[in-house]
Amino acid sequence: MTTWNKRYAKRMDGVNSSIIRELLKLTQIPGIISFAGGLPAPEIFPTEICAEATVHLMKEQGQQALQYSTTEGYAPLRQFIADKLNKMGANLTVDNVRITSGSQQGLDLIGKIMVDPHDKILVERPSYLGALQAWQAYQADFISVPIDNDGIDVDKLEEALQSKPKFMYILPNFQNPAGVTLSLERRKKIVALSKQYDVPIIEDDPYGELRYEGEDLPPLIALDEDDSVMYLGTFSKTFAPGLRLGWVAGPESVIQKFTMAKQGADLHTSTFTQMLLYEIAKDGFLDEHRQLIRRVYKERRDIMLDSLEKHMPEGVTWTRPFGGLFLWVTLPETMQARDVFDRAIKNKVAFVPGYAFFPESDSGYTGHNSMRLNFSNAAPDKIEIGIERLGRAIRGS
């Protein structure tokens, strides 16, 4: 029999099965109210418009949509994305933009083109698990910098930059997992620090368009004048994740390297979904649809915040996100979110224990008493019931 396990590459040693994936299996139990995943609300997916646009696309451009296409991506869609970012203050052309198969692919390909074994990558603490996993596979070491309600702590960031990381990974809006937003002042400071220490920025912004209160803030790519930012975006949260459409935008030289890496990965992102999305987006449908998403998620966020107020015991705190899909709960120091998780599953409610979002190689910070709650997926009438169950699990029953 073939001994496969002797043949795996060294770089897979540090790659464990995702805790989230394991936990999500538990959330399949019937009757569970899940705040664990990061899923959009499927009942507002624009299925009708997709059906109509598919028929139209097949009739009008079917042969092109079903054919191989360029690694760079469908040019009209890339122009649409450049225009969208330019409205936020960036200065991009179609040549600065590449379509990816979800922004997760962008993270992986950034690892592929930039990370050598034991390179240091600076991340927020806590950070997006999918990025940590993607870069672990390239044998990265992580240094993490804490966040507070205004995003990453810029003084600690400056200290960490002394150790010369290869790049810094910043989640500016309604951060996954904690839901916090980087203030304008800190955005400007980060761009200045990037220049001062010559450390480029990977800006990951899947949630920026899902703001429920306050003013939009410029992305880092719009504040930067030195070609120091690679920006990752996605249609997963503003349209539908199943299409697997995201993008990277950045300096042309990096974008070209990126394209070579993508060619080896999948030749190109689905021609069909790129053309379908463009067909739907070109006359402004996404702007209209975004209003609906914002309305629905704001209501769910508000119900969750009110329910937490009602059902959480003394000593428990949580973030109050201005947008996005998540909030972050901190339990008293002496408590373990993992123990709460076991009781919560018995009570038929699920969440992700916070330790999943702390890089393992950056030991000492475990987030043992924190948890991430998603508020976009559960129906409004289930949210308060779920939070009441969670309150009981925290109290120990």
Residues that bind ligand PLP (CB under 6 A): 38, 102-104, 128, 130, 171, 176, 204, 206, 234, 236, 241, 246
Nearer to ligand PLP by C-beta: 268 or 311? 268
Do residues 376 and 39 lie in contact, with contact meaning Cβ atoms separated by under 8 Å? yes
Which tokens sit at 46? 């624009």
Least Å distance, CB 6 to ligand PLP, is 32
Amino acid at 366: T
Question: Is 329 within 8 Å of 375 (Cβ atoms)?
Answer: no
- Nearer Cβ to ligand PLP, position 240 or 303? 240
Residue nearest to ligand PLP (CB): 102
Between 72 and 204, CB nearer to ligand PLP: 204
Relative to beta strand 370-374, strand 352-353 is antiparallel
103, two tokens: 């922004």
- Minimum separation from the CB atom of position 37 to ligand PLP (A): 9
Least Å from the CB of residue 352 to ligand PLP: 12
Shortest CB 3 distance to ligand PLP, Å: 34
Residue number, 104 or 319, with CB nearest to ligand PLP:
104
For residue 108 the two structure tokens come to: 């992986």
Which CB sits closer to ligand PLP, 176 or 259?
Answer: 176
Among residues 128 and 375, whose Cβ is nearest to ligand PLP?
Answer: 128
Shortest Cβ 164–ligand PLP spacing (Å): 25
DSSP state of 31: T
C-beta neighbour count of 191 within 10 angstroms: 20
Residue 34, strand partner residues? 350
Which class for 66: exposed (0-12), middle (13-18), buried (19 or more C-beta within 10 A)? middle
Q: Which is nearer to ligand PLP, 231 or 384 (CB)?
A: 231
- For 70, what's the count of Cα atoms within 13 Å in the CB-facing half-sphere? 12
> In the complex, what is the shortest distance from the CB of residue 100 to ligand PLP, in angstroms, rounded to a whole number?
8
Instruction: Give the pair of three-digit tokens for residue 122.
Output: 């600076």
Tell me how long the chain is.
Answer: 397
Q: Which is nearer to ligand PLP, 186 or 237 (CB)?
A: 237
Instruction: Indicate the residue among 176 and 347 with the shorter CB distance to ligand PLP.
Output: 176
Task: Please identify, using beta-carbon distances, which residue of 200 and 391 lies nearer to ligand PLP.
Answer: 200
Give the largest CA-CA distance in the chain: 63
User: Least CB distance from residue 176 to ligand PLP, whole Å?
Assistant: 4
Q: How far is the CB of 205 from ligand PLP (least distance, A)?
A: 8
Nearest approach in angstroms of CB 347 to ligand PLP is: 26
Task: Give me the helices (H) in the chain, please.
Answer: 19-26, 47-65, 75-87, 103-114, 129-136, 154-161, 184-197, 220-223, 252-266, 271-281, 285-311, 337-346, 380-395
Residue-wise DSSP of 200-227: -EEEE-SSTT-B-SS-----HHHH-SSS
Closest CB 236 distance from ligand PLP, rounded Å: 3
DSSP letter (8 states) at residue 364: T
Which residue type occupies 384?
Answer: E
> Structure tokens of 166?
């290869």
Distance CA 26, CA 193 (A): 43
Q: Enumerate residues 6+ apart whose C-beta is below 8 A from 257.
A: 113
Answer yes or no: are the C-beta atoms of 207 and 323 closer than 8 Å: yes
